[in-house]
Amino acid sequence: MPESITLQVTRYRPENESEPVVQEYEVPRRQDWVILDALNYIKDTLDGTLAFRWSCRMGICGSCGMNVNGEPKLTCATFLTDSGAGPIRVEPLANFPVVRDLVIEMSDFMDKLPRVKPWIVRGKEKPLSEGEYRQTPEQLDEYKQYSMCINCMLCYAACPVYGLDPHFLGPAAIALAQRYNLDSRDEGAMERREVLSQHEGIWGCTFVGECTKVCPKHVDPAGAIQRYKLTSALEELKAFLLPWRNR
Amino acid sequence: MTDKPSYTEFHPRWYRPRMSTYWWVKKRAHLAFILRELSSVFIGWFVVYLVLMIRAARGPATYQAFLGWSARPIVVVVNLVSLAFVVFHAVTWFNLAPQAMVIHLGGKRVPPLWIAAANYAAWVVVSALVALLVLGA
């Protein structure tokens, strides 16, 4: 087994370069090291100028997403040994502008997320004296899968629709809208429908399905979008057949 | 949905990579997706072919002429390629169906495999009925 492995890391220093370049680093090929450990090794001992984001190291903060050998991955959950003898290509997440080295600009996603109102919307809050909003385990199961999203944006990096049309609302935002639509305590489905049922919402999705494949938390955004397409189409049909019923 | 995120003043020189026109050749899954989208053209062709066949069924002479035209190598090749695409379209569609359909029976969620299996079963049954109608007559 080789003692070291080569990391081909994308560097982009806007003050020096107009386009990203590749820089190679040799790091120890340790069984227990993930890509993030190797990046931290580079930063600590080889090259302190390398810029990348990370926080929790345990797949919950969603900060360390990067393209590893062309696939969007959480670098804290991708082992060096997964790539055999190497070399390993480490690039910033695809489909986002690059600020520096492996750091991407995420304000587009941050802008889109609140538009789907990813929180519980109530027509009227019930008084505290009536107690909490209770839910059965079955009602919890309806949306629990979608609630596992950690906003890591790997699905945006995997989505060719988002790459071609940055106006597309995107997989995670729609999955999170569904997380609340399917929650028995929520009453905001109508408000979300206006955002979701646009062309830039669900209808932009062509069901490539890559978002679901790369999701580290098994959220299945592609499934959420297709399910909502059915809901939206049925609602449109209802509005057409029963125009006197609301709206 | 935003053209200009408000951060611009602090990051004057973002690198904005452009997607290549040929993004779909680099990855197998993307290629399969583009082929699935392309298959709609061949499904359209089968509809046109069906309409032509119905038109030709007005009389024995026109039907014979249609059969003769259908036996030309170019039409046979187009139809064989179309058949391959239609089968590809059907299989990929049925495999994706469980992701889009969530059905509850007796308060429990029907397992995804069952939904795909039900689609395939319906396909087989309908095909058998059509075969019975065509070959039995």
Min Cα–Cα distance to chain B from A23, Å: 17
Element housing A25 (H / E): strand A21-28
Round the average pLDDT of chain A to a whole number and report it. Answer: 93
Interface test with A, best of B13, B31, B35 (most A CBs within 10 A): B13
Q: Which residues of B touch A (CB under 8 A)?
A: 1-2, 5-7, 11-17, 19, 23-24, 26-27, 29-30, 33, 37, 96, 99-102, 107, 109
* Percent of chain A's residues with pLDDT above 70: 98
Given a contact cutoff of 8 angstroms between Cβ atoms, the answer to whether A168 and A200 are in contact is yes
pLDDT score, position B97: 86
Tell me: pLDDT of B10 over 70: no
Query: Which residues of B fall within a CB distance of 8 Å from A220?
Result: 99
* Percent of chain B's residues with pLDDT above 70: 91
Cβ separation B14–A200 shorter than 8 A: no
Query: Among A117-121, B8-12, B97-101, B113-117, which stretch is predicted with the lowest mean pLDDT?
Result: B8-12
pLDDT score, position B7: 47
Alpha-carbon gap, residue A62 to A80, rounded angstroms: 19
Give A32-50 pLDDT, tens digit per residue. 999 999 999 999 999 999 9
Give which of A107, A106, A102 is closest to A13, Cα–Cα: A102
Question: Mean of the pLDDT values across residues A98-102?
Answer: 93
Alpha-carbon gap, residue A231 to A226, rounded angstroms: 9
Provide the Cα torsion A48, A54, A57, A62; round to 10°. Answer: -160
Alpha-carbon gap, residue B108 to B103, rounded angstroms: 8
Instruction: For residue A77, count CB atoms less than 10 angstroms from its CB and return exposed for 0-12, middle for 13-18, buried for 19 or more.
Output: middle
Question: Mean of the pLDDT values across residues A164-184?
Answer: 95
Cβ separation B96–A107 shorter than 8 A: no
Alpha-carbon gap, residue B36 to B30, rounded angstroms: 10
Give pTM, 2 decimals: 0.88
Cβ separation B30–A160 shorter than 8 A: yes
pLDDT score, position A41: 97
The closest CB to that of A98, out of B7, B15, B107, belongs to B15
Round the average pLDDT of chain B to a whole number and report it. Answer: 87
Element housing A98 (H / E): strand A98-100
Sign of the CA dihedral with B65 first, then B66, B69, and B71 last = negative
Please give the interface size between A and B, counted as residue pairs whose CB atoms are below 8 Å apart: 77
Min Cα–Cα distance to chain A from B40, Å: 13
Question: Mean of the pLDDT values across residues A15-26?
Answer: 92
pLDDT band at A1 (very low <50, low <70, confident <90, very high): low
Cβ separation B6–A107 shorter than 8 A: yes
Question: Mean of the pLDDT values across residues A216-221?
Answer: 94
Cβ separation A12–B6 shorter than 8 A: no
Cβ separation A163–B23 shorter than 8 A: yes
Give B55-102 pLDDT, tens digit per residue. 998 889 999 999 999 999 999 999 999 999 999 999 988 888 888 888
Alpha-carbon gap, residue A51 to A24, rounded angstroms: 15
Given a contact cutoff of 8 angstroms between Cβ atoms, the answer to whether A35 and A73 are in contact is yes
What are the strands of the beta sheet with A71-74, ordered from one edge? A21-28, A4-11, A88-91, A65-68, A71-74
The closest CB to that of A98, out of B14, B33, B109, belongs to B14
The closest CB to that of B100, out of A163, A200, A227, belongs to A227
- Alpha-helix residue ranges (DSSP H) falling in chain B: 28-56, 60-70, 73-100, 112-136
pLDDT score, position B11: 59
pLDDT band at B112 (very low <50, low <70, confident <90, very high): confident
Smallest CA–CA distance from A141 into chain B, residue:
B109
Contacts 24+ apart (CB under 8 A), A195-203: A195/A115, A195/A116, A195/A169, A196/A116, A196/A169, A196/A228, A196/A232, A197/A232, A197/A235, A197/A236, A198/A169, A200/A165, A200/A167, A200/A168, A200/A169, A200/B1, A201/A169, A201/A174, A202/A169, A202/A174, A202/A228, A202/A229, A202/A232, A203/A229
Tell me: pLDDT of A103 over 90: yes
pLDDT score, position B2: 47
